[in-house]
Amino acid sequence: MTSQANNLNQGTIAVRGGLNTDDQYGSVVPVITPSTCYRYEEFAKPREFDYARKANPSRRLVEETVAKLEGGVDAILTNCGMSAIHLISVALLAPNDLVVAPHDCYGGSYRLFNSLSQKGYFKVKFVDQSDLVALQEALSLHPKLVLIETPSNPLLRVVDIKKIAQQAHDVGALVLVDNTFMTPILQKPLELGADIVTHSCTKFLNGHSDLLAGILVFKDQQLATDVLWWANNIGTLTSSFDSYLLLRGLRTLAARVNLQQDNAQKVVAFLASHPKIAKVFHPSLPTNLGHDIAKKQQKGFGSLLSFELAGDADVMPKFLKALNIFTLAQSLGGVESLVCHPATMTHSGISAEARKTAGISDQLLRISVGLEDITDLLADLQQALETI
Ligand SMILES: *Cc1c(COP(=O)(O)O)cnc(C)c1O
């Protein structure tokens, strides 16, 4: 890795990732390297890069930048968040190995672990990690890998990374944290004891909702090298062009995350005092599960929140139709504000019964607060609430 930016703060690391790396023309912004292959210096003497499935310069710049942001030694950039989680599963797990994952983890991760375990690739146990007895019981089965995802989706429940990581290590498990919702600006899982951090870079890290990518960041170089062997083996890696765009998005990460969070805090305050809102879920609220943990574990409460509309089923379509700025779409973490109805969108694959047990009501909406002017965002919510 380049020595530049080792002792710098995160805002600086993000802005300066890969700058001034072009020795040929001195371009400030890094060049894009689409080449799939690299000329050998001579017989039996490859350069740093030889074939792009394994590594390429554009991808490398993103990996170095995100590794520094998370405080890891190395990273592997993949073509989406799911392929990063798939890669770590394939690299680490053998039949009969057990993964312990949160019962309310990202739906795609739930489906991946479930479907692969049904084919016999490994075993999986989903537990409520805020339930210490259930967690202990799962850990007593000696899992190989423990996935932590906090705050959870869509209720923003927070669990204690440090405590769970310690207990997982006591039984010899590796700890993987999905840090997509927080970003390294607000939460540093490796410092809290995790071995690996993963992101859907599709969300906050890119921040512009125009590419898919995923990443794994490692605390241990040998583990990173072993997983990279698998990445090259199965071919999970992302393109130079997407890598370039992602690096461009990363430059504004700290600014975006902080401003989106400020906006979200104002949306939370507005909704919490509105008579047509039944409940608000955000880690900043003392009523939220894990609020006290969030206060010490996170550097901020983030820009995702959810809330329940008061009234009966017919208010939901009316409210969503009346919104002009908040767009009804599934993703999160972009500069644009989005609203999502988990019961019919992100969590529609789960049975109504299971949704009810998980606390996801049909009146629940999740919002990803963007970078629009807060006055306009609040006015949009206000006028839409007036229609119901
Ligand atoms: C979106 C998401 C993923 C999957 O990422 P893709 O880039 O869509 O494959 C994984 N984990 C979390 C928490 C996510 O939000």
Whether 240 and 319 share a structural domain:
no
Whether 114 and 222 share a structural domain:
yes
Whether 111 and 169 share a structural domain:
yes
Of 210, 230, 250, the position where a domain reaches its end is 250
Residue 358: predicted pLDDT: 83
Residue ID of nearest Cα to ligand 1 atom 1: 200
Whether 36 and 136 share a structural domain:
yes
Q: Is the pLDDT of residue 4 over 70?
A: no
Whether 158 and 35 share a structural domain:
yes
Of 205, 229, 250, the position where a domain reaches its end is 250
Residue 5: band (very low, low, confident or very high) from pLDDT cuts 50, 70, 90? very low
Whether 61 and 133 share a structural domain:
yes
Of 230, 250, 270, the position where a domain reaches its end is 250
Contact of 127 with 103, CB cutoff 8 Å: yes
CATH number, residue 121: 3.40.640.10
Share above pLDDT 70 across residues of the chain, in percent, rounded to a whole number: 98
Whether 286 and 225 share a structural domain:
no
Cα separation, 17 vs 81, whole angstroms: 21
Confidence (pTM): 0.97
Whether 239 and 265 share a structural domain:
no
Q: Is the pLDDT of residue 2 over 70?
A: no
Per-residue pLDDT averaged across 50-68, rounded? Answer: 97
Domain count, the chain: 2
Tell me: the pLDDT tens digits for 353-381? 888 888 899 999 999 999 999 999 999 99
Tell me: the pLDDT tens digits for 150-207? 999 999 999 999 999 999 999 999 999 999 999 999 999 999 999 999 999 999 999 9
Atom index in ligand 1 nearest the CA of residue 153 equals 13
CATH number, residue 318: 3.90.1150.10
Tokens 């993964």, located at residue: 99
Q: How many Cβ atoms sit within 10 Å of the Cβ of residue 257?
A: 26
Whether 349 and 311 share a structural domain:
yes
Cα separation, 6 vs 110, whole angstroms: 36
Tell me: the pLDDT tens digits for 289-339? 999 999 999 999 999 999 999 999 999 999 999 999 999 999 999 999 999
Whether 163 and 273 share a structural domain:
no
Whether 192 and 171 share a structural domain:
yes
Whether 139 and 288 share a structural domain:
no
Residue span of the structural domain in which 215 resides: 3-250
Any atom of ligand 1 within 6 Å of the Cβ of 56:
no
How far CA 246 is from CA of 16, 72, 130, 184, in Å, comes to 13, 19, 34, 15
Residue 89: predicted pLDDT: 97
Residue 3: predicted pLDDT: 43
Atom index in ligand 1 nearest the CA of residue 212 equals 7
Contact of 81 with 198, CB cutoff 8 Å: yes
Any atom of ligand 1 within 6 Å of the Cβ of 80:
yes
Average pLDDT, whole number, for the chain? 96
Tell me: the pLDDT tens digits for 209-250? 999 999 999 999 999 999 999 999 999 999 999 999 999 999
Q: Is the pLDDT of residue 388 over 80?
A: yes
If you measure from the C-alpha of residue 13 to the centroid of ligand 1, how many angstroms do you get, rounded to a whole number?
24
For the chain, strand residue ranges (E) read 74-78, 98-102, 123-127, 145-149, 174-178, 196-200, 214-218, 277-281, 304-309, 327-328, 338-340, 364-368
